[in-house]
Amino acid sequence: MSADFQGRKLLLGYKASAEQFGPRPLLDFAREAEDHGFDSVWVSDHFQPWRHTDGHSPFAPAWMAALGERTTRILMGTSVLTPTFRYPPAVVAQAFGTLGALAPGRVILGVGAGESLNEVAATGTELPAPKERLARMREAVELIRKLWREESVTWDGEYYHTRNATIYDRPDQPIPIYVGAGGPVAARLAGEVGDGLICTSGKGDELYRDKLLPGFARGAQESGRAVAGLDHMIEVKVSFDTDRDRALADTRIWAALALPAEDKAGIDDPREMERRAATVADQAHRRWLVSNDPEEHVEQIRPYVELGFNHLVFHAPGDDQSRFIRLYAQEVLPRLRRRWG
């Protein structure tokens, strides 16, 4: 099977790990990513990080405003922000309206259904079941778009309410909204209401091939849109270095990603997440594409391109992000662009 983006452009992005680095170093890394030819920068939006020790969690919208002023061309987005609990949809509409006005044409709002680590800790309430979280996200996306589109919005929905609400500062062109999905129901919702899909790598090709991508296409069809016009984005977890042992060791800091989903779902304390992650530290590399050979590494990435993902956002685990950015720009990005660009 050959890659067919159906008119979509190949985009290569950098994941700014807000759980691992403070706001200033993270800003410097993102600027370096632009300087070295990455097309986009995506920042996680956590209230609390995956690990307590040496953890960070800068406020993503404020950080993006600084990034917009430090850069000139990259796309920048959240991967992902939850617009349903700690952030009311109207506040998200205001925040991203401002970002879009500051950096027109460069801002993307990536949204997700939320997790205990962020929403429970910040609000003190229990996280609802997935069905309600997705219903809230659907309503939030609709309300945000309405606030961007109309001058005065009174909204009485199932979960959210506004009275004569006006977003006074917003861009002339609409801000795209991408929807994160880890299962077929969320993927279908992404196709129905999103301008793009956000996935994460390392979960088995059959999940993307048989569930997420078909669900996304079905949702787009049901909303009367062609899925070919929607961005297919995936965060690809990569650990690439000239020293393979170093690349392998770097993954250990992200051991929490090796935990089964059910072991992470209800955790709202980074200390407990860190404790559980320590039990699977030796398995951390399983979620990552580990290599010291650029040709091998491109082959590791190939399945995601051939599945149809056109927007690859690379998340590297190591502390020396500047080294990763330079190596990737020299050895990997050109190979990807020659082959599929």
Catalytic residues: 46, 115
User: Distances in Å between the alpha carbon of 171 and those of 38, 98, 101, 108, 279?
Assistant: 24, 8, 4, 12, 47
H helix intervals, the chain: 23-35, 60-70, 89-102, 116-123, 130-149, 184-193, 205-207, 213-222, 244-250, 261-264, 270-278, 294-307, 321-331, 333-340
Burial class (CB within 10 angstroms; exposed 0-12, middle 13-18, buried 19+) of 317: buried
Whole-angstrom distance, CA of residue 140 vs CA of residue 86: 13
Assigned token pair, 109: 């709002």
Q: What is the CA radius of gyration of the chain?
A: 19
The answer to whether 93 touches 167, Cβ cutoff 8 Å, is: yes
Beta partners for 178?
110, 196
Tokens 């809230």, residue located: 136
Length of the chain: 341
Q: State the Cα–Cα distance between residues 195 and 176, nearest whole angstrom.
A: 6
Residue 82, φ and ψ in degrees, nearest 5: -105, 115
